[in-house]
Copies of this chain bind each other. A is one copy, B any other.
Amino acid sequence: MSLKKTVNVALGSRSYPIHIGADLLANAEILHEHIVSKQVLVVTNETIAPLYLDKLVDQLKVRFKVETAILPDGEKFKTLEYLSEIYDVLLQKRCNRQVTLVALGGGVIGDMTGFAAASYQRGVNFIQIPTTLLSQVDSSVGGKTGVNHPLGKNMIGAFYQPQCVLIDTAVLTSLPDRELSAGLAEVIKYGAICDKEFFQWLELNMDSLLARDNEALSYAIKTSCEKKAEVVSKDERESGIRATLNFGHTFGHAIETDLGYGEWLHGEAVSVGMCIAAELSSQLGWLPVSDSRRIKVLCQRAGLPVEKPATMKAADFIGHMKVDKKNITDTIRLILLKSLGKAVIYDCIDDSLIETAITKYGMKYS
């Protein structure tokens, strides 16, 4: 077996391990101990299926009766309608409460499969095998599952933890450049919100990451999972500190909602969102302008967009942000930076502050 690192997500009886290593898909017997009955349903999408589905099924079918469900690929299919297709297969194949669902794919597949597991027969087991950098460093840790609604992203879902996560870094070789960059947005986020040294490491190693150097990727993934696991362990249901993980996301969700899900990748929207949030942090006199600039430059070097879509005005952002689920009453809840590596929750009661940041940001850099 290849070298394997393990990060433990400490959540009491819901704790689970994240195994990270090159070519772990060829060693899927790691999963056996987490599967309680003969029934396994692997959920994946049309892009991933031809690449890795057979490999995984071959590994599992030695011990289990394996069914598969293949969904179309993309955020726009993260809906109740396509979720229903997973339920349909589960029932057509007469899967009972002991079934284990396996999510083989990116964040969309992980979120949908996780919510299907949370809600099928009021809860069955599931395992995550994230195949994009974004899902490896973000959605595979912490148990947020769900689907989108036409009026808002991730509006329907559950907190539901997997039995384990298997991260095969070798699958990143087949990941399109654009998606690698989108994943790096979340990696940069961990540096920005809670680890200045990791941010500096990213500045030094961005070229290796883009060259898909396996050692650099493994380190970035492990560190990201550790950062997230630490926050999630303290606040599983996001009543406090976990909200800081949403740095850049409130602005980012506004972009995704405005353009329609799937136009921009999640990480791309988050990149612009982080740049605007950093601008606002500087505007409040917290974050030195030079550090706000470093965030923008690092995102740019990662191949990410750093300017808002030309079609969106400040008022469009504010309209969308007021229905974002992170909001409390009429204020807009933002995650800002007190300094590089230190995020805070900020309930903004003055829309004009946000308007200014968006407008100023656009003017200064464009």
Contacts and interface: CB of A to CB of B under 8 A. Distances in A.
Interface of A: 37-38, 80, 84, 87-88, 91-92, 94, 96-98, 115, 118-123, 144-146, 149, 151-152, 154-159, 237, 322-323, 325, 327-329
A119 B328 contact: no
Contact of A38 (B118, B146, B329): B329
A138 to B, nearest CB: 16
22 contacts: A80-B80, A87-B149, A91-B151, A92-B151, A96-B325, A96-B329, A97-B325, A98-B328, A98-B329, A119-B146, A119-B156, A119-B157, A120-B155, A121-B155, A121-B325, A122-B144, A122-B145, A122-B146, A122-B154, A122-B158, A122-B237, A158-B158
A16 to B, nearest CB: 18
B329 A158 contact: no
A256 to B, nearest CB: 15
A64 B116 CA distance: 34
Nearest to A333: B96
A224 to B, nearest CB: 22
Contacts of A152: 91
Contacts of A323: 91, 94
Contacts of A115: 119
A154 B87 CA distance: 12
B157 A122 contact: yes
B122 A159 contact: yes
A119 B158 contact: yes
A143 to B, nearest CB: 9
A123 to B, nearest CB: 7
Given A119-B156, A120-B156, 13 more contacts: A37-B329, A87-B156, A94-B322, A96-B328, A96-B329, A115-B119, A119-B157, A119-B158, A120-B155, A121-B155, A121-B157, A122-B154, A158-B158
Given A80-B80, A144-B122, A155 B96 contact: no
Given A91-B155, A155-B87, A123 B237 contact: yes
Contacts of A155: 87, 91, 120-121
A158 B96 contact: no
A88 to B, nearest CB: 8
Nearest to A84: B80
Contacts of A80: 80, 84
A356 to B, nearest CB: 24
A192 B96 CA distance: 28
Nearest to A144: B122
B327 A158 contact: no
A88 B325 CA distance: 14
Contacts of A151: 88, 91-92
A150 to B, nearest CB: 8
B123 A159 contact: yes
Nearest to A145: B122
> Which of A38, A119, A152, A327 counts the most B-chain CB atoms under 10 A from its CB?
A119
A87 to B, nearest CB: 6
Contacts of A146: 119, 122
A320 to B, nearest CB: 11
A32 B214 CA distance: 57
A156 B80 CA distance: 12
A120 B149 CA distance: 10
